[in-house]
Chains A and B, each alone.
Chain A
Amino acid sequence: MPESAGSVFAGSALTCLRGDRLVFTGLDFRIAPGEALFLLGPNGSGKSSLLRVMAGLLKPIRGRLSWDDVPVSDDPDAHRGRIHYVGHLDAVKPVLSAVENLTFWATLGGAADPRDSALRALDRLGVPHIANVPGRYLSAGQKRRLNLARIIAAPAALWLLDEPTVALDRAAIALFEEIIAEHRAGGGMVAVSTHVDIAMPGARNLHLDDFTPVLHGEDDDLTDEEDAA
């Protein structure tokens, strides 16, 4: 596993603002090697926002993220090198074949032999037969498997998965559970938001609705930039 085995990823007092709506405030989390974190909460409670904050796509207006007690904002490049993010979109190019799509991301992720690891990742997700199929002919489920193959094609310590099981069938979910378990056994960390049950033994739950701010008209002071990020 990557050099970061043994590291702890944590966030403290995170506040996230989208538009002029306060999504969550005072949120703390901590993920140690081998641990998994379930993000739970109703629609709009900020699961996706939190994952995007963790990935560094979104800046929290308050609070800090740290990796081994070093603020992530000190070295955002290093942070990008140790995460894999799976969002709502599959980033599959219609004119490239599955393996070409995957090889590209494996190269960017720093895999030693991108094409080889791409093929192995497809195999691992149970879809070796789609390797030469152009993206435009893939079903939604196959695209999703391709996107998930991306995260095992190149190594990264922390997986941030936003509804990873959308469009997956039962068999694929079971396969994916195994992959997550392997990743965790190797010291990897996972944060998942989902509405479907994914078996992750020993995962901790983070209920985002606990951090939804109660509005009482004094939120104004939260908008002044404190550059705490």
Chain B
Amino acid sequence: MTRFLRLIGRDLRLALRQGSDATIAVMFFVLCVVLFPFGVGPEPNILARIAAGVIWVAALLASLLSLERLFQNDYEDGSLELLSLSTLPMEAVVLAKTLAHWLVTGVPLIAAAPLLALLLNMDAEGFGVLVLTLLVGTPILSLIGSIGAALTLGARRGGVLLSLLILPLYIPVLIFGAGAIDAALNGLTPRPHLLLLGGLLAGALPLAPWASAAALRQAVE
């Protein structure tokens, strides 16, 4: 367990010292959302109507942006090889790295989301649910993304391949994430959507590290 935490600690430290990955993801997220009023026009009703979907799509893309680097650095400098030879199971390595990735890129998104919702004129009733869906949803994005990142490791143009592999898998998260907010805004209960998101998280938590670990073992061979 201490090794698991140390690995998270190392990844957080690396991310904070390099700084770029975390800020790029959240900047991209903000810019992406800010583009919509320019494209769709400043009509408040339209913006309020599409706010939930826009924020969620932007969150998907932002999380995708940094995923390519999830294992890349460790793979290139030989650390991944050594991690796979450590007594820490590969699944735990994946989980630790994904968790660190989520803390660095997912959490800032969640923090920035209410501000963007305000910008898009979303009804204040939706804010709580928005944060809640992102809180449950972004870890799923990181977990599913880790599979793609592991599979495309060492491939040329891995980032593009990663998007093609992973974006379709993000669709359920998008549907239930945006759906929960829409339900709340229309006076319905977001509960079923949130429960389904929770179910996705409960499924992804054991399955994604297992699949990624298998892909990583192939990659270091």
User: Which residues does A use to contact B, with CB under 8 Å?
Assistant: 52, 55-59, 77, 80-81, 83, 85, 87-93, 95-96, 100, 104-105, 107-110
Q: What's the minimum C-beta distance from A132 to chain B, rounded to whole angstroms? A: 14
* Contact indicator per residue, chain B 28-60, by CB within 8 Å of chain A (1) or not (0): 000000000000000000000000000000000
Chain B interface main SS type: helix
- A58 (CB) vs chain B CBs: closest residue: B221
Q: Which one of B6, B14, B77, B85 lies within 8 Å of A80 (CB-CB)?
A: B85
Interface size class of B (residues with CB under 8 A): 20 to 34
Q: Which one of A57, A59, A108 lies within 8 Å of B87 (CB-CB)?
A: A108
Instruction: Say whether, besides A58-B221, A95-B17, A88 and B78 are in contact (CB < 8 Å).
Output: yes
Q: Which one of B13, B14, B78, B88 lies within 8 Å of A89 (CB-CB)?
A: B78
- B17 (CB) vs chain A CBs: closest residue: A95
Q: What's the minimum C-beta distance from B73 to chain A, rounded to whole angstroms? A: 8
Question: For the complex, is B79 an interface residue (Cβ under 8 Å from A)?
Answer: yes
Chain A interface main SS type: loop
Question: For the complex, is B82 an interface residue (Cβ under 8 Å from A)?
Answer: yes
Q: Check A96–B81 contact: CB distance below 8 A.
A: no
- A93 (CB) vs chain B CBs: closest residue: B14
Q: Which one of A58, A85, A91 lies within 8 Å of B77 (CB-CB)?
A: A91
Contacts of B83 in A (CB 8 A): 108
- A59 (CB) vs chain B CBs: closest residue: B221
- A78 (CB) vs chain B CBs: closest residue: B87
Contacts of B160 in A (CB 8 A): none
Question: For the complex, is B189 an interface residue (Cβ under 8 Å from A)?
Answer: no
Contacts of A90 in B (CB 8 A): 77-78
Q: Check B85–A56 contact: CB distance below 8 A.
A: yes
